[in-house]
């Protein structure tokens, strides 16, 4: 190597090293002075225009007269429970009166096959023909809007009758039943007069008619069809039968191809729809071999909750017919499962049944029954013979009749519904013969059958849309039919869950507290974090699993399910948990220690929980003032009350329904309405708060009159709220100039007091040091019209202290234009040209407007309020600058908190044969089989019975589905899933930090400085160093994907549940020989051609 080689290599080595460009130095003192100047200017504006210092002084002045009482959570939950029990008992008594009246009416009624009787048909009422005469069964029926019934048009003096389209409205059985049940009308009215909190009362008949009070006009769907059948509803089925363990066996041999398979699938779906969360189920398909349609469920039964039923429906749709059918192995497998569950004390522990769906049985299966079911016959066997072929009818009927079951033959899709319902009548016999009137309470559900359901979805808090039903069976008491156990129907009454939660007043639960209810199965009945709806396009729809959301999926911090277990067992007690509460659509989080108090509600399968947050959440403020003084201040025009809270009961007396809560309180205090029933403790708190906050009106008015449009342009509104739900507000600009008109209105429910929660600006301020302000900006995807955010909401809490106890009395704030914040920011972020730069290391004089700097104002969750680039406003800072956000996380100034959502909806790729949709309508499935129909038309003529098609919804559905299929576009569908997502939280103990980031060929400096008395941070970064080697830090929501074995284990797991108290499985007097027969058959060639005509149009 020559002498020149070493220096030459050194030169190349130097060239290969990154050329470290000199970084932009950002003087720390300069950034601190900017932050101090901006913070001082901001504090001055928001304290001045909110009047926070005045309000704090006013509450400080009354501290000597205040009392702070510690809430006894256990006493509170017991008191609420007793009140709920009393309310629900009144509903039970109303239902019992209806049951007694219905059974007496039936006892005194003699069936008349030629009875002629006009009644109010809810579809036909008020309808006229071309001659302006009322149509038959459609006489004049006066309807008036009623606030108690969600402003629907109703008739509170009379009930009317609804029938599904496929039930003939003048059938003798219908006419006799309707005539007999006329006796319920005076009882409906009397019940409502006795208990004006009652809502819908009804009688669902076993023949298919539905008597509803108050009477309404029932509207058909877009195809002119009424598909609602009361016998399909959960309340009817639960009241008619005890818990059931069911194994459905379906024949998928080659002979089941075509229409038979379609009918079999629809039969399974219909059976699944008769099951509820107290029932257990599995489905076995058989041909040459036996297989569980969900392999994960092999050898077990699973709870028939909505999740599992929908899962089964999707799998049923994928069944294909092939091979040779051998039923013995399937029967053996079914009996084994049922016996194992029975012996292990699992499942429903009451009725057990096998549903056999086949087009024929030729084997010698008697030995299976002898080995597994005789002589006790603990398992009933119901058989469904599919198709027109009658050769195997005696065999299939023999199976049912010798196993206490029922046999039916199903030749058409339209026959499915009525034939499946027969098994419910058989299971109800023991209860009917014994005359056991069990009271049942349903799980939470949303009644989308009534008109205006979509408007209700949009107008109410999601968790308060749900209801439960109390129901009781109605039996024939005639001695001559006693052994037949004739179920006449079911009587029920709805209880909206919001009515129950009114008994747990919001003001007693503190800023973050709430009450919730769950069922014996651990499912949520009501909870402020329950989200039963999701958006599909612009429409709100119920989620597929909305009423089988487990308590552990909402209170997910309860990792060991201690709370869930105690509540399901009906225990009374309490426990504490540190919880992370998502707010602002999951973009922010509150860290709370919550105390959970719980007890059961006697006489129901429900448990009640009350949650109080530790600290100020467990104190109630009690102030005292005279009615005269308080009343004067209540009459000020800037004052309003939380209209969803119950200060006075206004929804019972029709004269009070039009009153707002404020009007009602004033009338109560002035003695104008002595009949008003009001919560005196809450009214007293409101009076006290009205007096303390009264000076704010004059203060705000004076400011508005003397406002400088030059320096303070952009301050739009001042507002305050107190723990009693009292609100005051004042405008600093004309109402037409307000940037966010939804704020403090029902259109922005997060900003007002509701039954579910305190306003978000109040809740966030309560967890921030008193006197310090919370600045909130809507994120980019939540801003109105999808544009850039325009306003910032600023709020602070007002605390009071008495005897060492601190309570939050109120929160006060302003709403300002973002422009004002930006203007103040840029004015503060610069050094004068004559600055003394001698002591500063770095560029001087310096300004945030310089090209070498990027300056950001971000909040404590990392969202940008101010940036040089307006498009970044409202974005998460990590998405804009991943390098600095990563460094702030590494240094501990921010931390990442992982949150979970077990009620999420995730996109799944488009799949033409989607789960249950084709099975929802019999004719849809029929149309799907068109190819088969054309190729096997002769067999179709022999096998498809069209006679029952005439009085069904199938023709209308056929047309709708056919046209829909042509305009159907491929799109992703949504299905329930679990997700995890990050929330980023600033650590307030770190006031300032700075650092250098190695970015390849340069070093990037940044300085972060806390803005005093706020939740804001000033971030100044070097704009000249490209640090794009660092990926962005995103707020991505990720679906939690479970590996197959874990997913299966989760699906198989049987969570703790409490079984219903009663069971009626068998009765010695039962007439087991009433076990079914062949269905009537007739073919009409004219009707047969109708669907083909529809297809050709």
Q: What is the mean pLDDT of residues 497-505?
A: 91
Beta carbons within 10 angstroms of residue 892's beta carbon: 11
Chain center to CA of 1029: 43
Task: Produce one character per residue of 732-764: b if its CB has 16 or more CB atoms within 10 Å, e if not.
Answer: bbeeeebbbeebbeeebbebbbbbbbbbbbbbb
CB-CB contact of 213 with 159 (8 Å):
yes
pLDDT tops 70 at residue 303: yes
List, in sequence order, the alpha helices (H) in 172-305: 172-181, 185-194, 234-240, 259-272
Alpha-carbon distance of 251 to 123, in angstroms, equals 40
pLDDT in tens, 740-757: 889 999 888 899 999 889
Residue 461, C-beta contacts closer than 8 angstroms, at least 6 positions apart: 528, 749, 754, 755, 756
Beta carbons within 10 angstroms of residue 222's beta carbon: 7
Which residue matches tokens 């939380």?
642
Alpha-carbon distance of 503 to 79, in angstroms, equals 9
pLDDT tops 60 at residue 371: yes
Alpha-carbon distance of 992 to 1008, in angstroms, equals 5
Alpha-carbon distance of 512 to 767, in angstroms, equals 10
What is the structure's pLDDT at 971? 55
Q: Which two tokens stand for residue 161?
A: 């009758």
CB-CB contact of 178 with 210 (8 Å):
no
Arithmetic mean of pLDDT over the chain: 85
When pLDDT is cut at 50, 70 and 90, the band that residue 15 belongs to is very low
What is the structure's pLDDT at 292? 96
pLDDT tops 90 at residue 39: yes
pLDDT tops 70 at residue 859: yes
pLDDT tops 50 at residue 941: no
Q: Which two tokens stand for residue 442?
A: 């349903």
pLDDT in tens, 542-592: 888 888 899 999 998 888 899 999 999 999 999 999 999 999 989 999 999
What is the structure's pLDDT at 972? 67
Beta carbons within 10 angstroms of residue 126's beta carbon: 14
When pLDDT is cut at 50, 70 and 90, the band that residue 474 belongs to is very high
Q: Return the higher-pLDDT residue of 618 and 922.
A: 618
What is the structure's pLDDT at 833? 54
Q: Return the higher-pLDDT residue of 1072 and 634.
A: 634
When pLDDT is cut at 50, 70 and 90, the band that residue 455 belongs to is very low
pLDDT in tens, 583-596: 998 999 999 999 99
CB-CB contact of 87 with 604 (8 Å):
no
What is the structure's pLDDT at 51? 96
pLDDT tops 60 at residue 942: no
pLDDT tops 70 at residue 836: no
What predicted TM-score, i.e. pTM, was given to this entire model?
Answer: 0.86
Helix/strand/coil for 762? helix
**Lowest mean pLDDT: which of 245-254, 423-432, 479-488, 775-784?**
775-784
When pLDDT is cut at 50, 70 and 90, the band that residue 1064 belongs to is confident
What is the structure's pLDDT at 12? 37
Q: Return the higher-pLDDT residue of 713 and 465.
A: 713
Q: Return the higher-pLDDT residue of 1080 and 261.
A: 261
Alpha-carbon distance of 1096 to 1093, in angstroms, equals 5
E strands of 627-704, at which residues?
639-641
CA angle 987, 991, 993 (to 5 degrees): 95
Q: What is the mean pLDDT of residues 338-356?
A: 93
Alpha-carbon distance of 410 to 385, in angstroms, equals 6
CB-CB contact of 536 with 974 (8 Å):
yes
What is the structure's pLDDT at 544? 85
N- to C-terminal Cα separation, the chain = 93
Q: Return the higher-pLDDT residue of 1051 and 49.
A: 49
User: What is the residue-wise DSSP string for 1011-1077?
Assistant: PTTBSEEEEEEESSS--TTSPP-----EE-PPPHHHHHHHHH--------S------TT--TT--B-
pLDDT tops 50 at residue 1080: no
pLDDT tops 90 at residue 75: yes
Q: What is the mean pLDDT of residues 1024-1033?
A: 93
Alpha-carbon distance of 792 to 1014, in angstroms, equals 13
When pLDDT is cut at 50, 70 and 90, the band that residue 465 belongs to is confident
What is the structure's pLDDT at 958? 35
pLDDT in tens, 666-705: 999 999 988 899 999 999 999 999 999 999 999 999 999 8
Alpha-carbon distance of 253 to 325, in angstroms, equals 5
When pLDDT is cut at 50, 70 and 90, the band that residue 483 belongs to is low
Residue 851 CB burial class (10 angstroms; 0-12, 13-18, ≥19)? exposed
When pLDDT is cut at 50, 70 and 90, the band that residue 363 belongs to is confident
Comparing C-alpha atoms, which of 715, 632, 648, 716 is closest to residue 683? 648
Q: What is the mean pLDDT of residues 774-802?
A: 80
Residue 838, C-beta contacts closer than 8 angstroms, at least 6 positions apart: none
What is the structure's pLDDT at 811? 97
What is the structure's pLDDT at 10? 38
User: What is the residue-wise DSSP string for 860-896?
Assistant: TTSBEEE-SSGGGTTSBHHHH-HHHHHHHHHHTSEEE
Q: How many residues does the chain have?
A: 1097
Residue 594 CB burial class (10 angstroms; 0-12, 13-18, ≥19)? buried
Q: Which residues pair with 384 in a beta bridge?
A: 357, 408
Q: What is the mean pLDDT of residues 83-101?
A: 97
What is the structure's pLDDT at 832? 64
Q: Which two tokens stand for residue 953?
A: 């919804």
Comparing C-alpha atoms, which of 1031, 1032, 1027, 1033 is closest to residue 1000? 1027
**Lowest mean pLDDT: which of 632-646, 647-661, 826-840, 910-924?**
910-924
pLDDT tops 90 at residue 97: yes
Alpha-carbon distance of 71 to 841, in angstroms, equals 57
Alpha-carbon distance of 117 to 34, in angstroms, equals 87
pLDDT tops 50 at residue 943: no
When pLDDT is cut at 50, 70 and 90, the band that residue 842 belongs to is low
What Å distances lie between residue 704 and 713, 715, 791, 812, CA to CA?
Answer: 11, 10, 19, 17
Pairing of strands 715-722, 726-731: antiparallel
| CA dihedral sign, ordered 642, 645, 647, 652 | positive
When pLDDT is cut at 50, 70 and 90, the band that residue 184 belongs to is very high
Q: What is the mean pLDDT of residues 519-539?
A: 89
Task: Produce one character per residue of 917-950: b if its CB has 16 or more CB atoms within 10 Å, e if not.
Answer: ebbebbbbbbbbbeebbeebeebbeebbbbbbbe
Comparing C-alpha atoms, which of 494, 493, 487 is closest to residue 208? 487
Q: Percentages helix, strand, coil for the chain, rounded to the nearest 5? A: 35, 25, 40
When pLDDT is cut at 50, 70 and 90, the band that residue 945 belongs to is very low
What is the structure's pLDDT at 462? 60
**Lowest mean pLDDT: which of 29-38, 541-550, 716-725?**
541-550
Q: What is the mean pLDDT of residues 47-58?
A: 96
pLDDT tops 80 at residue 53: yes
Q: Angle at which helices 28-50 and 818-828 pack, to 10 degrees?
A: 140
pLDDT tops 90 at residue 47: yes
**Lowest mean pLDDT: which of 272-286, 421-435, 471-485?**
471-485
Q: Which two tokens stand for residue 1002?
A: 């340069």
Backbone phi and psi for residue 216, each to the nearest 5 degrees, phi listed first? -135, 165
pLDDT tops 50 at residue 444: yes
Radius of gyration of the chain (CA): 35
Residue 55, C-beta contacts closer than 8 angstroms, at least 6 positions apart: 693, 696, 720, 798, 810, 812
Selection from 269-273, 358-362, 1048-1052, 1084-1088 with the highest mean pLDDT: 269-273
């Amino acid at each position: 190597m020559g002498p020149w080689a070493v220096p030459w290599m050194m030169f190349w080595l130097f060239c290969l090293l990154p050329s470290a460009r000199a970084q932009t130095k950002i003087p720390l003192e300069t950034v601190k002075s900017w932050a101090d100047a901006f913070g001082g200017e901001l504090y001055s504006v928001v304290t001045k225009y909110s009047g926070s210092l005045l309000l704090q002084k006013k509450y400080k002045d009354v501290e000597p007269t205040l009392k702070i009482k510690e809430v006894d959570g256990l006493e509170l939950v017991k008191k609420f429970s007793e009140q709920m029990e009393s309310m629900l008992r009144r509903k039970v008594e109303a239902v019992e009166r209806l049951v007694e009246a219905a059974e007496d009416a039936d006892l005194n009624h003699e069936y008349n096959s030629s009875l002629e009787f006009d009644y109010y048909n809810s579809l036909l009422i008020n309808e006229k023909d071309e001659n302006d005469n009322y149509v038959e069964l459609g006489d004049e029926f006066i309807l008036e809007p009623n606030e108690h019934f969600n402003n629907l048009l109703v008739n509170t003096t009379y009930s009317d009758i609804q029938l599904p389209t496929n039930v003939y409205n003048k059938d003798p059985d219908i006419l006799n039943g309707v005539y007999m049940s006329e006796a319920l009308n005076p009882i409906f009215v009397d019940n409502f007069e006795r208990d004006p909190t009652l809502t819908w009362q009804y009688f669902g008949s076993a023949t298919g008619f539905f008597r509803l009070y108050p009477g309404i006009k029932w509207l058909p769907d877009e195809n002119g069809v009424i598909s609602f059948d009361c016998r399909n509803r959960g309340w009817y089925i639960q009241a008619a039968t005890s818990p059931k363990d069911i194994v459905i066996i379906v024949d998928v041999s080659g002979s089941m191809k075509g229409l038979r398979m379609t009918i079999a699938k629809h039969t399974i779906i219909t059976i699944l729809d008769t099951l509820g969360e107290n029932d257990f189920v599995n489905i076995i398909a058989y041909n040459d071999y036996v297989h569980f349609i969900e392999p994960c469920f092999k050898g077990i039964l699973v709870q028939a909750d909505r999740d599992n039923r929908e899962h089964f429906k999707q799998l049923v749709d994928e069944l294909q017919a092939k091979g040779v059918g051998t039923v013995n192995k399937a029967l053996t497998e079914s009996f084994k499962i049922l016996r194992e569950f029975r012996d292990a004390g699992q499942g429903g522990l009451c009725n057990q049944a096998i549903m056999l769906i086949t087009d024929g049985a030729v084997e010698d299966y008697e030995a299976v029954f002898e080995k597994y079911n005789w002589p006790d016959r603990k398992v009933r066997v119901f058989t469904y013979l599919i198709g027109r072929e009658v050769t195997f009818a005696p065999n299939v009927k023999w199976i049912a009749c010798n196993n206490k079951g029922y046999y039916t033959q199903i030749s058409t899709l339209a026959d499915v519904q009525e034939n499946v319902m027969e098994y419910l009548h058989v299971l109800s016999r023991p209860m009917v013969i014994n005359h056991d009137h069990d009271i049942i309470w349903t799980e939470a559900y949303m009644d989308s059958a009534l008109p205006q359901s979509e408007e209700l979805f949009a107008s109410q808090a999601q968790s308060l849309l749900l209801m439960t039903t109390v129901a009781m069976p109605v039996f024939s008491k005639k001695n001559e039919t006693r052994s037949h156990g004739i179920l006449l129907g079911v009587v029920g009454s709805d209880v909206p869950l919001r009515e129950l939660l009114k008994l747990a007043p919001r003001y007693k639960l503190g800023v973050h507290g709430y009450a919730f209810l769950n069922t014996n199965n651990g499912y949520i009945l009501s909870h402020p974090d329950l989200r039963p709806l999701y958006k599909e396009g612009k429409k709100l729809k119920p989620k597929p699993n909305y009423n089988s959301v487990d308590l552990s999926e909402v209170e997910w911090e309860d990792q060991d399910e201690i709370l869930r277990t105690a509540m399901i067992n009906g225990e009374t007690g309490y426990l504490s948990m540190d919880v992370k509460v998502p707010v602002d659509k999951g973009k922010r989080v509150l860290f709370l220690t919550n105390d959970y108090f719980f007890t059961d509600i006697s006489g129901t399968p429900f448990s009640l929980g009350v949650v109080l947050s530790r600290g100020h959440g467990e104190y109630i403020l009690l102030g005292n003032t005279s009615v005269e003084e308080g009343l004067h201040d209540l009459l000020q025009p800037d004052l309003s009350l939380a209209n969803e809270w119950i200060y006075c009961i206004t929804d019972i007396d029709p004269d009070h329904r039009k009153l707002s809560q404020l009007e009602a309180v004033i009338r109560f205090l002035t003695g104008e309405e002595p009949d008003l029933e009001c919560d005196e403790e809450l009214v007293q708190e409101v009076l006290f708060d009205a007096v303390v906050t009264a000076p704010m009106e004059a203060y705000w008015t004076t400011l508005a009159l003397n406002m400088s449009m030059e320096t303070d342009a952009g301050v739009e509104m001042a507002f305050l709220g107190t723990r009693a739900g009292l609100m005051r507000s004042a405008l600093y600009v004309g109402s037409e100039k307000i940037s966010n008109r939804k704020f403090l209105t029902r259109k922005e429910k997060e900003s007002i007091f509701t039954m579910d929660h305190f306003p978000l600006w109040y809740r966030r301020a309560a967890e921030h040091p008193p006197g310090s302000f919370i600045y909130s900006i809507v994120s980019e995807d939540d801003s109105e019209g999808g544009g850039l955010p325009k306003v910032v909401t600023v709020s602070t809490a007002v605390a009071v202290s008495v005897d060492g106890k601190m309570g939050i009395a109120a929160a006060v704030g302003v709403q300002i234009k973002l422009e004002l914040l930006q203007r103040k920011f840029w004015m503060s972020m610069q050094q004068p040209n004559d600055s003394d730069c001698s002591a500063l290391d770095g560029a001087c004089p310096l300004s945030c407007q310089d090209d070498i700097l990027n300056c950001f104002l971000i909040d404590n969750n990392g969202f940008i309020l101010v940036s040089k680039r307006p498009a970044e406003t409202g974005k998460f800072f990590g998405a804009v600058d991943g390098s600095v956000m990563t460094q702030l996380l590494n240094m501990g100034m921010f931390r990442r908190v992982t949150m979970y959502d077990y009620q999420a909806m995730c996109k799944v790729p488009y799949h033409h044969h989607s789960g249950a949709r084709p099975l929802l309508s019999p004719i849809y499935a029929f149309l799907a089989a068109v190819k088969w129909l054309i190729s096997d038309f002769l067999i179709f003529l022999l096998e498809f019975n069209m006679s029952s098609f005439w009085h069904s919804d199938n023709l209308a559905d056929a047309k709708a589905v056919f046209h829909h299929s042509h305009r159907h576009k491929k799109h992703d569908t949504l299905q329930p899933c679990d997700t995890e997502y990050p929330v980023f939280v600033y650590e307030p103990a770190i006031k300032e930090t700075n650092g250098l980031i190695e970015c390849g060929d340069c070093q990037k400096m940044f300085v972060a400085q806390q803005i005093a008395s706020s939740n804001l941070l000033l971030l100044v970064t070097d704009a000249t160093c490209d640090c794009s080697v660092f990926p962005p830090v995103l707020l991505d929501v990720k679906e939690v994907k479970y590996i197959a074995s874990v997913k299966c284990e989760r699906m198989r797991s049987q969570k703790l549940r409490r079984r219903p108290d009663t069971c009626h499985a068998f009765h010695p007097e039962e007439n087991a020989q009433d076990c079914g027969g062949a269905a009537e058959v007739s073919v009409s060639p004219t009707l047969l051609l109708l669907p083909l005509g529809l297809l050709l149009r």
